[in-house]
């Protein structure tokens, strides 16, 4: 009885923690909505400003022989400033929108967790054994792992943003200032710097596009999971030394959004594990859409692990990011009625099979 009361108290504390987090998310989403709306107004205004300046520059170009050099310089500086402001504000808007979308996903997840917890709480509680059979302890552990995974993902995205686009924007500012100083003293050198700036901007733009695709590929919503997986596998193959083979069985069809997302994220995550943790040279991906359940199989020839021991005694392997990620992946599939089979040994690589029903 004492153990049962302790379990109930722990579950109540967990429910309270989730409610507090949901409240915090609602408040943050309200703030972000205001920021998104305000930033969108600024972006629209800067777009119009850039369009007006572009028109003025075309007029100057048509009358280049009669326009004073000083006027050209002033207008050119104004154009650079306007373009930089638009780029900066547009980046800020995308950041707010991305953060808002992520918080909304967290809110949805917490709502599902709350429903699950409250459903468990409402079950008959005649004995501790019945509570344990209902999965109360496991549900708590699932939430801890999900929150941990979310925090790790936030940290990874923050590092990518800092080391990538944010650093590039800083370099753009410095190069622009160099161009401004060289414009009168050494126009040829200024043109070279501008050409270099254009090249760097093109590379950075592609990196930002890749970053956005990894974060949330828009084609997943527009075209569905199969074209998105094909695109991701092609991109992954180009950027890594791995040989990646993709096999798709069955007709291309659309699924519910959350099912397409979990299929894509699972493939993305398992391929990254093969590259980052297993040091594999070959990865095989099979997506079978021919029936229900939908089946995803990812196999690699890299360094494996004792799956039976690791997954059965997960607490001892909590610090192993690969094992922890696989446990979290398995629990996500269980939440929507799916199944996972994980086979791995230190000498034979790893095989993960995911079965996902294609309807609720």
pTM: 0.52
Residues 107 and 222 in one domain: no
Look up the domain containing 274 and give its range.
218-356
Q: Which two tokens stand for residue 42?
A: 């600024």
Q: Which two tokens stand for residue 293?
A: 């359940």
Q: Are residues 246 and 179 in the same domain?
A: no
Residue 330 token pair = 């398995």
**Residues 241, 139 within the same domain:** no
Could you tell me which residue, 134 or 193, shows the higher pLDDT? 193
312 and 271 part of one domain? yes
Q: What integer is the mean pLDDT of 27-36? A: 78
Handedness of CA 67, 73, 74, 80 (dihedral sign): positive
Interhelix angle 225-239/257-276, rounded to 10 degrees, is 20
Buried b (16+ CB within 10 A) or exposed e, 342-353: bebeeeebbbbe
pLDDT at 161 over 50: yes
- Same-domain pairing of 147 and 223: no
- What's the confidence (pLDDT) of residue 300? 95
* Burial class for 270, CB neighbours closer than 10 Å (0-12, 13-18, 19+): buried
Whether residue 165 is found in the same domain as residue 97: yes
Q: What is the per-residue pLDDT for 123?
A: 36
Of 161, 193, 215, the residue at which a domain comes to its end is 215
The alpha carbon of residue 284 and the mean position of all alpha carbons in its chain are separated, in whole angstroms, by: 23
Decide: 323 and 317 in contact? Cβ < 8 Å. yes
Domain boundary residue, one of 215, 237, 272: 215
Residues 164 and 297 in one domain: no
Domain CATH for 248: 3.30.565.10
Q: Same structural domain for residues 203 and 226? A: no
Q: Which of 137-151, 185-199, 295-309 ranks highest by mean pLDDT?
A: 295-309
Residue 257 has pLDDT above 60, yes or no: yes
Specify whether 225 is located in the same domain as 267. yes
Question: Domain boundary residue among 215, 230, 248?
Answer: 215
As given in the structure block, the two tokens for residue 59 are: 């007029």
Say yes or no: 93 and 43 in one domain: yes
List, in order, residues 6 or more apart from 252 with CB less than 8 Å away: 224, 226, 227, 289
Coil, helix or strand at residue 85: helix
Distance CA 201, CA 346 (A): 44
181 and 222: one domain?
no
> How many separate domains does the chain show?
2
Top pLDDT among 342 and 194 is at 342
d(CA 303, CA 301): 7
More confident residue, 341 or 89: 341
Q: Do the Cβ atoms of 279 and 302 come closer than 8 Å?
A: yes
Those residues whose C-beta lies under 8 Å from the C-beta of residue 356, and which sit 6 or more positions away, are 259, 262, 263, 293, 294, 295, 296, 333, 336, 338
Buried b (16+ CB within 10 A) or exposed e, 320-338: eebbbbbbbbbbbbebeeb
103 and 242 inside one domain: no
């Amino acid at each position: 009885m004492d153990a049962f009361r302790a379990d109930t108290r722990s579950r109540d504390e967990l429910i309270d923690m989730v409610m507090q987090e949901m409240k915090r998310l609602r408040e943050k989403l309200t703030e972000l909505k205001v920021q998104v709306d305000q930033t969108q107004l600024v972006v629209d205004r800067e777009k119009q400003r850039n369009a007006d300046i572009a028109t003025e520059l075309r007029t100057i170009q048509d009358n280049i022989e009669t326009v004073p050099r000083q006027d050209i310089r002033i207008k050119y500086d104004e154009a650079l400033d306007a373009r930089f402001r638009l780029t900066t504000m547009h980046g800020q808007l995308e950041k707010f929108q991305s953060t808002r979308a992520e918080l909304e996903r967290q809110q949805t997840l917490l709502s599902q967790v709350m429903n699950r917890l409250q459903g468990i709480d409402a079950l008959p509680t005649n004995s501790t054994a019945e509570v344990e059979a209902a999965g109360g302890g496991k549900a708590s552990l699932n939430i801890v792992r999900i929150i941990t995974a979310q925090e790790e993902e936030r940290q990874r995205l923050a590092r990518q943003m800092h080391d990538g686009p944010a650093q590039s924007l800083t370099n753009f500012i410095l190069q622009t200032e160099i161009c401004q100083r060289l414009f009168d003293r050494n126009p040829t050198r200024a043109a070279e710097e501008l050409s270099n700036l254009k090249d760097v901007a093109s590379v950075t733009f592609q990196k930002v596009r890749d970053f956005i695709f990894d974060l949330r590929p828009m084609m997943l919503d527009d075209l569905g999971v199969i074209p998105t997986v094909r695109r991701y596998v092609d991109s992954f193959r180009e950027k890594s030394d791995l040989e990646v083979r993709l096999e798709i069985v069955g007709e291309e069809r659309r699924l519910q959004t959350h099912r397409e997302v979990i299929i894509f994220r699972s493939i993305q995550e398992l391929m990254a594990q093969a590259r980052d943790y297993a040091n594999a040279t070959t990865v095989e991906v099979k997506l079978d859409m021919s029936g229900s359940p939908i089946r995803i199989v990812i196999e690699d020839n890299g360094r494996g692990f004792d799956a039976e021991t690791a997954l059965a005694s997960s607490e001892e392997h909590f610090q192993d990011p690969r094992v922890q990620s696989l446990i979290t992946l398995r629990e996500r599939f269980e939440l929507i009625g799916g199944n996972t089979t994980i086979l791995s040994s230190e000498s034979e690589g790893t095989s993960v099979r995911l079965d996902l029903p294609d309807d609720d």
